[in-house]
Structures are given as C-alpha cells and as structure tokens.
Structure 1
Amino acid sequence: MNLKRILISACLIVWIAFAQGQSIQRAEPLHWWVGMHNPELQIILYGTDIGDCEVKLPKAGMELKRVHRVENKNYLFLDVAIQGDAQAGIYPIELYKGGRKVLSRDYILKDRDRSLVKAQGVNAADLIYLIMPDRFANGDPSNDSVKGMRETAVNRDSMYYRHGGDIQGIINNLDYLEDLGVTALWMTPVLTNDMPKASYHGYANTENYQIDPRFGTVDTYRELGKELHKRKMKLIHDVVPNHVGLHHWTVLDRPSSDWLHESETFTQTTYKDQTMFDPYGTRADKDFMEKGWFVETMPDMNHQNEKVQKYITQSHIWWIEEAGVDGFRIDTYPYNDLTFMGKWKEAIRSEYPRFTFFGETWVQSVANQAYFLGGQKVGQQIDTKLEGVTDFQLTYAIGDALNQEKGGAERLYHTVSGDYLYPNPMANVIFLDNHDKDRFFSTVGEHLEKYKSAFSWLLTYRGIPQMYYGAEILMKNFSRPDGLVRDDFKGGFPGDEVNKFTAAGRTDKENEMFNHVRTLAQYRKRSRALQHGKMTHYVPQNDVYVYFRYEEDERVMVIMNCSDEEREVGLARFTEGTAGAKTVRNILTGESSALPERVSLHGRQTVVLELR
C-alpha cells in the first residue's frame, strides 16, 4: 500500500471515529417560525467536541451569518437570518471536519399558527387566579412519578414532596374557575424542574423548552391555552430570567466561564433592592444584590453576556408563539439586570404589541416599587419599559386596614395616595396573598367579616386583582414554612373525602365566602367602572374609608368600615362622588332603594353600592 493510500485510510479511520464519537445532542430553540418580525435567530448546538467544526446551512431560506465558538468545545452558537421568502420546512445544519461532512441536524421552521389566540395582554378588566399546579388537581395520575428524574417520590402527607397535581387537572376544572368569575390564569412555573428536592414549585427550571413531564407535555400546555381562550380567559406564563436550577443543562456543562455570575466562593444576593437606586450606594453593593445567587440551588444568569440574553429572550418568545401565552409574570424582578430587562421587553413587544408584563417586586415602599417600572418617572437612570408590578405595598396596607384597632383606614389611604409615582397605577397587580405569603384568612384571624371586606376591596379597587387558589373557600395557614400555604385543593385528587369544587362539598361558611367572591367577580366582569374607571377617594373619618370607581354613565361607591364598632355614615359629604345619583343597588344583597341619607355598617363591614 503506498503512502497516499495509507494517509487516506488513516483519515477515514479518524473521520469514522469522529463521527461515531459525536452527535448533536441538542439544538435550541427546538424549532422556530417563518414570518416573525425579527428575522434573526441564535441557535445553540450542543454535542461532544463539536466546537472546532465548520458549519454550513445548505438550504436557501436560512442564512448563516456567524459562528460563535466558546471556551467549551461542546457548544456552537449560530447567528442565522431567516429570509423573507423562507418557507416552512426542514433546514439541515451540517458540520464539517477537514472538509468532510461528519454530522448533520435537521432544523425545523414552521408556519405561524394564525388560528392560535395569543398575546392578548392582561389588564385591569381581568381577575387573575394564581395556581400552584402540583397542589391544585391531579388530572393524570400516570405522570405523578417519572422514572429517571432526580425526584420521583410522591407524598401528599409532606409539604416538600410532589403531590401529583398537573395541567390536565387544571383543564378539568376550568368550568369552576369560569363560574367563579376568573378571567386569567397564572400558574407558578411549569417548565422541567429536575431538581432533587422541592421541585414542585418550579422556580429552579432545568430546561427552557420543556414542560415538566410530571405536569404534562407541551401539547397539554397548548391545550390549556386553547381551553382558556374558548372561555374568553387568558394564560399568564411565569418566567424566571434571573436564575435557573443548579441542574440546568447549561450549568452542568457551562458554555463559558461568564455564562453565570460566579466568584471563587458562593456569593448570595443581599436582597437589598435599595442598592439599585441608592444615590450614595457603592458599585460593590449593587453587584452583591444583582449578581449574587438567589439561593445555593439557583445559579444567577449573567445578563451582561449577549448569548445569555438571546437564550433567555428567544425561549420566552417561543412559549408565546408555541402555546398561546397572553402575558408574563416576572419572578424576582429587582434581581435582574435592568438594562437587559428593557431590551428583553422591547424584543417581545416588537413581535407582540399587545403583550403585557408585571414584575414581582417584593420591596418595602411605594417609591421602591415605582423605581422598577418604566418611564423614568422617579428619575431612574434606566428605563425598564415595565408597565406593572405586584403591589406589595397595598397588600400590607389592606392587612393593616382590617387588623389595626385604629388608623388602618389611614394606612390604606396614605399608600394609594402615592400612585402619582407610577406611570400607570392601573397596570399594577393587587392581591391579598400568594404562594410566598401568609394566607389572608389567617392574616385576619379567620374573621369572616374582615375577610369578606378584603375581597370587596380587592375586586373594586384600582389595578388588576389577583387571588390565590383556594382563597374563595377559606384555605388558611401561615408561611412559616412556606409549604403550609401550598396545601392541596381538596377534591382535586383521587381519594379525597370531600370535593370543594362543588357546593355540596363545602361547609356553610365556605359557601358563604365562595358566593361573596363569585357575586363580586361576576359583577366586575360586567362593570366598566370597576374594569377601567377612574377612582376618587376621601380622607378617612372615624376609621371609615370611602372611594368611588366611575365612568361617565356608571358609578360604584365602596364604604369600608375599618373599625370593630358599628358606624353610621352620612352621605352628604360625598356629593362629589355620588354626582347626583338618585338610587342605589347593593351589589352583594341585590337590594335597591332611593339614595339614603345615611348608611349603617357593622364592625369591619364593607358595602359595595351601584349608583344610578
């Protein structure tokens, strides 16, 4: 055999060995669409030692603009442009070594599903219902435990193990939510969370393009969106751009040393949101806040890395287009790089102009909340473009209003008077409790009248109301530890002795509360004043707080007695609000009468009156 043949044979052996030892294990996003507003796409290829390969896209319609090679030879980042005349179909991605093709991966471009309702946005006309899917209803027991995942145990007697709730269980109970008056559904994250402990809550995702198989599939999630839209309801997707789970695939094999925020030793965030706007603060303190890990199991993503930015942004656009998502709730919003969040929001809005966002801002003042919103109304150096936040300040205020012996009404009045700091107060999400806070029924000492007043306030005040699953049936407990406020909705799981989804399964008090919420929520669906109307309120007197929601031809008057004592409230003081009304209808009782001179309220009662 001559030297030439020996060399050719040696090369063939190398090429065969190369091909046998390699594969393209991942390509993300999983697929994309033709006809998007932004034609540019970053495709991540992942496979053993592919980083030195040359890349070709042989089919016209998807043009390779640039290949980014990173420290880790298992990655290639491709910048591609989808041509305006590109057709849906298969587009091969070919890898070459020494001029010879060694690997290929088919990439799919799809036509956009124009029949799929999506990106409607969530606004003050909506009532959001927050569900922790693992704890609401089990519609498919076959997926309770999935072999090969790090956590397989299912134990409903433990607050930390999985209980088996899933997306199908929610689909099965949408009629219940519709009857209650809910118009938008927000679930805690449903992406794969392959963590060894407490994976049920979803906030440490390990995949960006998968539904956790214990919750269902992408098809199940898509079906949920369709079923909601049939009922004229909306789907809110909980996104976590700040961090991922410790077992996320890009953490287990990092693309580069700057993929995450890391230091030589574990550095946790200080949780001090003030450092982000403190005029006297240090750069170091800001970095500890924004770049520190939320907890040890949640690595902090490096938002200064453009590849990370694209990876996060594209994955969120993917879910809108794939599943018909209408809005995003943004987890741990103050911990994100705010410059990136402004770019992120603009990228999504360029594709979906009506899409809306609200960020979790668990902070300690109205001014702190306002800082994280867009518009630079309070002198921010960065415009985050964000329109709404979770209004923790009003949550604190309504608790004080109903629990303090004196002065609670003043606290509520004082807090909402700071609305001038917000670009659009109506875009803020108001709530009584959520998956991290004490159940409000426990907050008010299981005092039914206080609790009913709280819901009367929630469903008539400015902003977007959000309620936590089971609040309508008096679910209770304190959040120390947080698993106590994440109990199962009884009747949603096989073997439950009672079914709280039905009137027959609820106690008299539970039905009283359910009907209170339902009456107000269903009225709210018909009331333009409560959905989009302006608000006027009066300085509280004798612990009584009065406010009005109104449009030109519709007015609602709300009288809150924040005292334990009975109050007689004369209406002569409120002529600016009553605006010549002649009759009133009590929304909760249905009774109508001439506009009275005085209204009597027993301790902690709230009255909701439609003025005519």
Structure 2
Amino acid sequence: MKNSLILLLSFFFMGHMASAAKYQIDHLEPSTWWVGMKNPKLQLLVHGENISELRPEIKYDGVTLDQVSLVENPNYMFIDLTIAESAKAGKFEIVFTKSGKKALSYTYELLDRAKDSADRIGFNNTDVMYLITPDRFANGDPSNDSVDGMADKYNREDDYGRHGGDIQGMIDHLDYIEDMGYTALWVNPMIENDMPSSSYHGYAITDFYQVDARFGSNEDYKKLADACDERGIKLIMDMIMNHCGSEHWWMKDLPTSDWLNFQDGFKPTNHKRSVTQDPYASKADTKLHFDGWFVETMPDMNQRNPFMATYLIQNTIWWVEYAGLEGIRMDTYPYPDQHFMADWTEAVMTEYPEFNIVGEEWTTNPALVAYWQRDKKNANGYTSELPSLMDFPIQDALAKSLNSDHTQWGQGFNLLYEMQANDFLYADPYNLVVFPDNHDMDRIYTQLEEDYTKYKLAIAYMLTTRGIPQIYYGTEILMSHMGTSSHGALRADFPGGWEGDKVNAFTGEGLDAKAKEAQDFNKKLTNWRKTATAIHDGKLTHFAPAGMDGGSYVYFRYDDNQKVMVVLNMGEDKELYLADYAEVLDGETKGTDVISGKEFDLTAGTFTAPAGEALVLELK
C-alpha cells in the first residue's frame, strides 16, 4: 500500500511538472526598461510555444498592464504596459497563468536612467566623425575570432570573410583616435549577424538586442561607450530599420502574415527613391521601392504592422539608453515605410531633444536628399523629423571636380561650386554630414587615381566646408585598392591592428613617407578644427572659379570671432587679386596657413596660391 501511494504521488508530481514545463519563454523583448522615460508606454514581445494560452499578471507599484494582444501565431503575445512617473527602479514578476493557476513567471527589471540621459548632446558640426568597419580595424581579443555555434568563421585570407576585428580592438586604440583629433566614432553595425557567410559587414541582423559574439558582448559595447565618453568622443550607432537577416530567430516562426513585405517570397526593390516626390509615380513602382527586398538574405520588414513598428522604435531607444549613445546613423533611410520613419525619428528625438540622427539617402540629386530633412517644406506635404543626412551630392561633385579637366568650360571646381549653391534646397545644410568616402564606395585615394595633390585638396575641403565631416578609417593613411572594386578590398584591414603586421599605422612603424605625411596632414587639420568656431557655425561665402579656369576655388568661413580663407588650387601657380574678395576680407592684412604655418601678406593687392596646394588661412 505504501509503495502504491508513493508511486501514485510520483505520477501526480511528474504530471504536474510536465504541465508546468509545457510552457516556456524563448524570447521576451525588450528584456529590461527604464523608469522616468518621457513616453510611459512599453510593449513587450513574448515568444514561446503556445504562449497565447496564458494570461499575464503584474503587481508592481506604478506599473499598469493595459492590454494583451494575441496574433495569428499562437506562439506570440504582446503586452502593453504603462510605467507611471511614480514608478521606482526594481524587479517584479510577470506571472503567466492558465485557468487561474500559475504556469510560469518571468523576472522583469526596471532601471534608473542616467542623470544626463535625456539631455545628452548629439554629434554636431563641432565634431569630426571617424567611421570604422569593426571587423577590419583591430583584433583586440583573438579568443572571439570564431564562436562555437556560429557558422561564419574567422578567415583573414578571404576578402569577404571574418578577419577578427572587435570591440576590444577599438578600445585599445581610442588613444590613436583621440590623438588624431576625431571627436565622434561611427561604427558599422555590431549587432548579431549569425548568417552562414559574409556577415562581417553587420547589415543582416539576426538578433536586434545582442552584440555579435565575434565582436564581444553587450557589456563590452557599454565598456566602449564609457571609454569613449571619458575621452569626449561621441559614440554613433549604425542601425537598420528596413530589413533583418534571413537567419533572424523570428524567421523560423513569424508572428503574423504581414510581419514582412512580400512575405510569400523574395521580390527585389526597384531602388526608385524618386517615387517619394515624383508626381507621376505609379502605385506599383512606389510599392516596389518601399516593400521590395535588397537581396534574398535580407527580408524586408513591414513597419506598417503596428507591433513591428513599436518593436523597432523601442529597440532603438533601448540601445540609446543602454549605451548612452550620442547619435545614430540610419542605413537606407528612404526604403522603410516613410510615415513610420517620421514616427520613429520623432519618438527618438522627443526622448532625446539634443540628440542627432543622420540618414543615408544615397543619391547625387540634392532635391531627393533635402526631402528627408526636418523642417523641409515638401510639395507633397510629407513632414520629416530627421535632423541630418549624408551629403552624397557634395561627395560626388568634389570627386568629379578634381578628376575633370579644369581648363574646360564648366569643369574643375565649377562643378563643386554649382553643387554647393544647391544648399538653398536644404532646411539646414550645416547639419549635413560631408565625407570623402565611406564603407560602400571606393576609397577617395582610389577615386582620385592615387593623386596625392588631389587627395589633399579633397581632405582640406571636407574639413573646412559647412557640415559635419566624416573620415573613413584608413583614409587618413592613403588606403587604396586600385585595380579592384571588391567591397572586401575597400574594407581592408587597418595596418597594425593585428599581431604580426609589418606596418603599424597606430605607431607609424613601417608606414611609408607619403602615408605618414597624409596622416600628419589630417591630424593637423582635425585638431585645429576642434576650436575653429568659424568652421563650426560660421557663415560661408564662396567665389565662382574665374572664366575658363576651374582650377581654383576660394571660399571664406567667418563668425564674430574668427575668419578663415580657404584656397584650393589644382592647377599651376595662381595669382589671386585680393580686391575680388574685398567684401569678405574687409581690411584683413595677414593670413597664416594652418597647414604649413606660412604667412601671407594681404596688403599687396595680390598673392600667389601655390600649384596643387590647399591653403587654410586664419586671417588677422
């Protein structure tokens, strides 16, 4: 009898445990949140087999469970909460019940915000950004080069393989970045890309809340952010709202039938970004632009689904708050639903009013770029909340100017002059990001056919024109890839970032003389720029290249405290008649070149701009 009772009780407890074990939470996102946010609403995505059969309960002062939403897939539920202003940081249980009995629970934590969180100052035109592709910059922790369970392994011999650069590598070389005068750090995405191959670039996300283990951990990313903050370097996160990776965890169990665009099968975008303003655009072309996929391995997310929209907005705010970011670079800004992008940007900027976000609109047409900037009055009535954009039109005009035959009518710096004149299209041209190159295009030294004279002119212009300059890692040492257009080659390893490298650009060891000269040229200008108020916010007046000769370009930057005259000369020695610039010179008698230290007399009526030189003259 006794044994029978024990057996019966065993079966009872085993059955009870099996029933309790029937449910589990595989994903609950965001996993933490903060008290004191301006928006008191929070929506939790909960994923687990048949989780919709349960009902959540919360008992915590200041937290109200407003609504539970179920969707087509029984493995999901969405929980809407309100976090009152009175709520305190702390942990509480989300109890999931079935038929009034507890089935499982989840410990959720609310955190205190950093004291300066809502007031953080985003990147601005006092900054110079340094852009890094982390896999190719420096390998600070070889132990994470390959990670068990992740398919894409270390292979430094492969242009498209993982090379081992990581967060620790960047931390190890922040002294170099600071010494070079860069005040903001934009890093290509480091969020998990657990894809079968070629995942080093970071743009096929498989978990929006986790740093890729081959770069480090979330804690390592926070460590990088803190280390940047100690040096006064602003950290800018590269984000993607348009697409995820085909190996994202939800791709195996999608929540709804409209979680993705063209969810039934791959259909490529037509890349017709002009449909945003084209008065004759067809609905079919418009839909294909916004909803089409880039490639089969990057499913296009449907931001018109309200749960997806909330998920993406909250994920963005989570990273800003978690890491203390000072900026976001938004990939492929014109491709997600444009009304969602306005909502997304407004939500971020409302939470962080002094923040900054730069969007990528890769076109050489300034009218298409200007469409997306905050305060732009658009013909179709669209209102954007995006503060900044990448200035692709200026980049293109500069490269074409320098590569053209400046002795031909309308060529040379005339091309740049005319493009600069299009600034009337922008609501705020001073908040555009200007750049000689980036991770998706040929290195500027390659674009300019490795002509060092043209290179110096390009860098001098980018560091003195209006806007916020961005320099791609290695551009400062003339990294080039002549003879190949491979993305793997243009994202080559930074010399000195790997043990055993024969050349070390961090220390200068083995660096050839011209590369060292270029590095010093960049360093001098970027460090001078830190305190050059006229370059930050000063007015810009430029003068048209004269007649048939587009070989020289003169412009001034000036405010109440400083006046700077910039002379770019790609031709022979050029005699400049100072009377032509009298409206801005206004009695200035001397100019000192920031680069060479040479003084120029401005009282003689003329001075000679040396052939193939850039002059950045502080006037007195």
CA RMSD of aligned residues (A): 1.8
* 2:283 is the counterpart of 1:283: yes
Equivalent residue letter for 1:448:
Y
When structure 1 is superposed on structure 2, of 44-53 and 367-376 the one drifting more is: 367-376
Conserved? CA contact 1:490–1:498, under 8 Å: yes
Aligned-pair CA distance for 1:348: 1.1
* CA distance 1:599–1:380, change in 2 (3 Å): farther
Conserved? CA contact 1:118–1:324, under 8 Å: no
Alignment partner of 2:495 out of 467, 490, 496: 490
Alignment partner of 1:599 out of 596, 604, 607: 607
Question: Where does residue 4 of structure 2 map in the other structure?
Answer: none
Question: Where does residue 456 of structure 2 map in the other structure?
Answer: 452
Conserved? CA contact 2:376–2:426, under 8 Å: no
Aligned-pair CA distance for 1:521: 0.7
* Alpha-carbon distance between aligned partners in 2 of 1:52 and 1:292, rounded to the nearest angstrom: 35
Question: Where does residue 501 of structure 1 map in the other structure?
Answer: 506
TM-score for both structures, normalised by structure 1: 0.96
Conserved? CA contact 2:569–2:609, under 8 Å: yes
Deviations 1:112-171 (A, max 9, x none): 2327798321111100000000000011111111101121x2111111110000011011
Question: Where does residue 61 of structure 1 map in the other structure?
Answer: 62
* Alpha-carbon distance between aligned partners in 1 of 2:44 and 2:12, rounded to the nearest angstrom: 30
When structure 1 is superposed on structure 2, of 82-91 and 458-467 the one drifting more is: 82-91
Aligned-pair CA distance for 1:56: 0.9
Equivalent residue letter for 1:504:
E
Question: Where does residue 295 of structure 1 map in the other structure?
Answer: 295
Conserved? CA contact 2:118–2:351, under 8 Å: no
Aligned-pair CA distance for 1:10: 11
Equivalent residue letter for 2:272:
K
Question: Where does residue 465 of structure 1 map in the other structure?
Answer: 469
Question: Where does residue 4 of structure 1 map in the other structure?
Answer: none
TM-score for both structures, normalised by structure 2: 0.94
* CA distance 1:255–1:67, change in 2 (3 Å): same
* 2:564 is the counterpart of 1:546: no
Equivalent residue letter for 2:608:
S
Aligned-pair CA distance for 1:598: 2.5
* 2:519 is the counterpart of 1:511: no
Equivalent residue letter for 1:548:
F
Question: Where does residue 585 of structure 1 map in the other structure?
Answer: 592
* Alpha-carbon distance between aligned partners in 2 of 1:472 and 1:118, rounded to the nearest angstrom: 33
SS, match of residue 315 in structure 1: helix
Conserved? CA contact 2:119–2:354, under 8 Å: no
Question: Where does residue 5 of structure 1 map in the other structure?
Answer: none
* Alpha-carbon distance between aligned partners in 1 of 2:275 and 2:508, rounded to the nearest angstrom: 50
Equivalent residue letter for 1:437:
M
* Alpha-carbon distance between aligned partners in 2 of 1:18 and 1:291, rounded to the nearest angstrom: 43
Aligned-pair CA distance for 1:85: 1.9
* CA distance 1:224–1:265, change in 2 (3 Å): closer
* CA distance 1:117–1:55, change in 2 (3 Å): closer
Conserved? CA contact 2:140–2:165, under 8 Å: yes
The correspondence of residues 210-609 of structure 1 with structure 2, limited to 5 A, is 210-406=210-406, 407-477=411-481, 480-541=485-546, 542-543=549-550, 544-563=552-571, 565-595=572-602, 596-609=604-617
Aligned-pair CA distance for 1:263: 4.8
* 2:115 is the counterpart of 1:111: no
* CA distance 1:9–1:167, change in 2 (3 Å): closer
Aligned-pair CA distance for 1:482: 1.2
SS, match of residue 274 in structure 1: helix
* Alpha-carbon distance between aligned partners in 2 of 1:360 and 1:96, rounded to the nearest angstrom: 46
Equivalent residue letter for 1:472:
E
Equivalent residue letter for 1:585:
T
* Alpha-carbon distance between aligned partners in 1 of 2:577 and 2:85, rounded to the nearest angstrom: 67
Equivalent residue letter for 1:184:
A
SS, match of residue 609 in structure 1: strand
Equivalent residue letter for 2:158:
S
SS, match of residue 514 in structure 1: helix
Deviations 1:440-465 (A, max 9, x none): 10111111111011111010001100
Equivalent residue letter for 1:419:
D
Equivalent residue letter for 2:29:
E
Question: Where does residue 53 of structure 2 map in the other structure?
Answer: 52
* Alpha-carbon distance between aligned partners in 2 of 1:530 and 1:113, rounded to the nearest angstrom: 32
Aligned-pair CA distance for 1:374: 2.4
Conserved? CA contact 2:95–2:102, under 8 Å: yes
Aligned-pair CA distance for 1:503: 2.5
Conserved? CA contact 2:119–2:353, under 8 Å: no
Equivalent residue letter for 2:435:
F
Q: For structure 1, which runs of at least 5 residues remain unmatched after alignment?
A: 1-7
Report sequence identity in percent.
43
* Alpha-carbon distance between aligned partners in 2 of 1:120 and 1:252, rounded to the nearest angstrom: 40
* CA distance 1:602–1:591, change in 2 (3 Å): closer
